[in-house]
Structure 1
Amino acid sequence: MTLESAAQKVWTAMTKDHSGNWGMDIHQWDWVPGVGLIALLDYYEATRKPEVLSYLVDWTQRNKEKAKGSKVINSIAPFAIFPALNQLLDEAWYREEAIRIAEWMIAEAPRTRERAFEHTVTENVEFSEQVWADTVFMAVLFLARTASLVGSKKYAEEALQQVLVHLSLLQDEKSGVLFHGWNCNSADHMSAARWTRANAWVAAGVPLIVKKIEPLVTIPDELRMRYGQLISGLAAYQQADGLWATVMDHPEFYREVSGSAGIGYGIRKAMDIGLIERNDRYDAAVERALAAVLATISEDGVVSGVSGGTPVMKSIFAYQEIPQYPTLYGQGLVLMLLAESMHKQGG
């Protein structure tokens, strides 16, 4: 299966009617479809296929009323396509909505005592004073893109500070990789799981954020150093088959495809924008991940080996019990890796 045919199959599977299927139902306003939309935009920018852009526009028109529900950090993700749609279509509504949400994030979004965005979710559950790696991709990416759209140094500085505080709180100084979460009340990493998909959200999100805010703020050496340590640590945990275990320092755990794809994408994207130096070790890591991920795509475009929605679990071994099933974030992270790899081939 070529990269082009695989990507076509994956995005087609994402846009079929999956009503009532939590993992694959794109017509909801939450993080799961949000990741799918971010990936579809990435795919459009790599291919310029008009049908992909048309789908994104139609999606916003059909689902925009759902955005008026409660504002939570984890459901900001769908808004991340709005800055690009404003630029592509020159429709003021996308810009106005992006500014509205950015202002809410700056002024009203719950924060921990370290000023990190508290990881709030749409489900009826609270994670008081908790910082999760997921937030970097689900919310900070949107803020960075809106900063770029409107030329706001205020938004850019907030996005930068959020990246720095998430890295400083979550990074394992010994291995360089990230723990899933941090509890500000107990001042610990809770179960202290080096969860692969948590690392993928940051590995993939940070280069996208840096690319948008770099014209507005100076990227400090600390960010480059910490991100470089993250990528070096991730490369060390890659398994011989090209994937990462769902908890990466437990190679006996099952391989997790969405996180593996996100890490592969992040490494490639970070090299492309100069956030990390390109080298043979990282090129080889991405190619091995890409080959392994391609093997998980069925003929009808469904990605297998994706773990379900995962809060910070009470123990490391509980992560091994998370069931695997198709999801839009699995499809999306794979599509982003495919699109970035297609772009590399073309360039």
Structure 2
Amino acid sequence: MNRDALMGTLDRVVRGFCRLKNLDEVGTSDGFSIHFEEWEWEIGVGLYGFWRFADFQQDTALQQSILTWYETQIGKGLPEMQINTTAPMIALALVAKHHQRQDLLAVVNDWADALLRDLPKTEEGGFQHVVKEQANTGQLWDDTLFMTCLFLGVAGIALKRQDLIDEAGYQFLLHTRYLSDPASGLWYHGWTFVDKHHYAGAFWARGNAWITVAIPEFIELMGEHLDTSVRRFLSQVVARQVRTLCELQADNGMWHTVLDDPLSPQESSATAGIAYGMLRGVRMGILDDSVSASALRAFDAVMARVDDGGLVLEASRGTMLGWDIQYYCDIAIAPVPYAQALTMLLLLEMDQGNWLEATR
């Protein structure tokens, strides 16, 4: 693949994202207007990838498309604050800072304050993974670090509030303590303080991908505002995880839904996220150069799963905590905005890191 083909694929994937209207509906539009109607985590991850693309392109029309979506949603009234509804706030904080929109920065500030004040906490002050379906009392989930703590960090930068960055850093540390397996470095999907266990004990692939993405992203976004010891600790956490991920990669470059179960389905959103996090971590200097070979094999595998309309195939839908491994194997496959976003980020990194040179 040359750069022209790479950028053409990126364009198709972005257009594929814009075709998604809801979780079960793919439209026919081939433009760059956002049609997704629900303010939830799925679109939140998608918007983050879309904003990164618009910023990379320095395209004011794309940036305006995102701004228009947010203005429409805010005008309708935002949903109740919880973990998953915080995900769209990540890109909003970036958009508000970029445009220096004081009205939007006020929305960001109010949401951040509500998270700290009103979100139920677990023992030791963890962010309880509250979602619209249930309160998940006493539960920590690995998804939280991307969906909520990236927002706190980005909001801290936009609002010049070190307290938000510090709280995000603490949540990364606490979640690592209870969700990262000390033997392998892989992450469990969830932990309950109520019954003291990891449910199915599953090393769920997309959950691990959230970590492989979120740690380098958090470190890079926070820059000098992140405590040096926290940066050092998190760098070691993701490095240990990635070493094991490389060992578990399938021969075709994909990762399985349950990472250490080769009979579980292979899954593209996890593969895209893991590959992106690896390449970004190598470029940042927090991961060893040797892991780039696994990431580039994964890139090829994901590219083989992008259809002519730009939709990323073989991605699984949203996944609650499972009580057994079979639950993770049975999750439905569908076009989803987060698969589009993680693939956008991977394609952007391939260009920005000059990784195409490594494939020649």
Normalised TM-score (structure 1) = 0.94
Q: CA deviation at 1:299?
A: 0.4
Give the stretch that moved more between structures: 17-26 or 162-171. 17-26
Q: CA deviation at 1:65?
A: 3.5
Task: Confirm or deny that 1:5 pairs with 2:8.
Answer: yes
In structure 2, C-alpha distance between the alignment counterparts of 1:244 and 1:342, rounded to whole Å: 23
Specify which of 110, 126, 136 is matched with residue 127 of structure 1.
Answer: 136
Runs of at least 4 residues off by over 3 Å: 22-25
In structure 1, C-alpha distance between the alignment counterparts of 2:76 and 2:136, rounded to whole Å: 23
Q: CA deviation at 1:22?
A: 6.7
Task: Confirm or deny that 1:247 pairs with 2:258.
Answer: yes
In structure 2, C-alpha distance between the alignment counterparts of 1:66 and 1:163, rounded to whole Å: 33
Give the SS at the match of 2:124. Answer: coil
2:121·2:127 contact (CA, 8 Å) conserved in 1? yes
The one-letter amino acid paired with 1:12 is R
Task: Confirm or deny that 1:297 pairs with 2:300.
Answer: no
The one-letter amino acid paired with 2:225 is L
Q: Which residue of 1 aligns with 2:125?
A: 115
Specify which of 200, 203, 226 is matched with residue 217 of structure 1.
Answer: 226
Task: Confirm or deny that 1:102 pairs with 2:140.
Answer: no
Q: CA deviation at 1:88?
A: 2.1
Specify which of 57, 63, 72 is matched with residue 62 of structure 1.
Answer: 72
Normalised TM-score (structure 2) = 0.91
Q: CA deviation at 1:222?
A: 2.6
The count of aligned residue pairs is 344
The one-letter amino acid paired with 2:98 is L
The one-letter amino acid paired with 1:258 is S
Give the stretch that moved more between structures: 337-346 or 165-174. 337-346
Q: CA deviation at 1:93?
A: 1.5
Task: Confirm or deny that 1:92 pairs with 2:95.
Answer: no
In structure 1, C-alpha distance between the alignment counterparts of 2:8 and 2:288, rounded to whole Å: 27
Question: Root-mean-square deviation (CA), in Å?
Answer: 1.9
Q: CA deviation at 1:48?
A: 2.1
Specify which of 23, 43, 49 is matched with residue 53 of structure 2.
Answer: 43
Matches within 5 A, 1:154-169: 154-169=163-178
Specify which of 177, 185, 188 is matched with residue 194 of structure 2.
Answer: 185
In structure 2, C-alpha distance between the alignment counterparts of 1:203 and 1:67, rounded to whole Å: 33
CA distance 1:43–1:247, shift in 2 (3 Å)? same
The one-letter amino acid paired with 1:116 is G
Show CA shifts across 1:271-327 (max 9, x none).
2223x1341x21101111111000000000111100111001110122111111110
In structure 2, C-alpha distance between the alignment counterparts of 1:286 and 1:47, rounded to whole Å: 24
Q: Which residue of 2 aligns with 1:286?
A: 295
Give the stretch that moved more between structures: 201-210 or 257-266. 201-210
In structure 2, C-alpha distance between the alignment counterparts of 1:31 and 1:278, rounded to whole Å: 31
Q: CA deviation at 1:254?
A: 1.1
Q: Which residue of 2 aligns with 1:233?
A: 244
Structure 2 residues not aligned, in runs of 5+: 28-34
In structure 2, C-alpha distance between the alignment counterparts of 1:118 and 1:17, rounded to whole Å: 30
1:23·1:327 contact (CA, 8 Å) conserved in 2? no
Q: Which residue of 2 aligns with 1:265?
A: 276
Give the stretch that moved more between structures: 324-333 or 210-219. 210-219
Give the stretch that moved more between structures: 74-83 or 47-56. 47-56
1:29·1:66 contact (CA, 8 Å) conserved in 2? no
1:37·1:78 contact (CA, 8 Å) conserved in 2? yes
Task: Confirm or deny that 1:199 pairs with 2:208.
Answer: yes
Show CA shifts across 1:45-87 (max 9, x none).
3322333212111111221245522111111011111222123
2:219·2:226 contact (CA, 8 Å) conserved in 1? no
In structure 2, C-alpha distance between the alignment counterparts of 1:147 and 1:321, rounded to whole Å: 39
Give the SS at the match of 1:18. Answer: strand
Give the SS at the match of 1:131. Answer: strand
2:278·2:287 contact (CA, 8 Å) conserved in 1? no
Give the stretch that moved more between structures: 55-64 or 20-29. 20-29
Q: Which residue of 2 aligns with 1:144?
A: 153
Residue identity (%): 26
Task: Confirm or deny that 1:306 pairs with 2:315.
Answer: yes
Q: Which residue of 2 aligns with 1:14?
A: 17
1:204·1:265 contact (CA, 8 Å) conserved in 2? yes
The one-letter amino acid paired with 1:255 is Q
In structure 2, C-alpha distance between the alignment counterparts of 1:22 and 1:111, rounded to whole Å: 35
The one-letter amino acid paired with 1:50 is T
Structure 1 residues not aligned, in runs of 5+: none
In structure 2, C-alpha distance between the alignment counterparts of 1:179 and 1:243, rounded to whole Å: 19
Give the stretch that moved more between structures: 192-201 or 212-221. 212-221
1:178·1:199 contact (CA, 8 Å) conserved in 2? yes
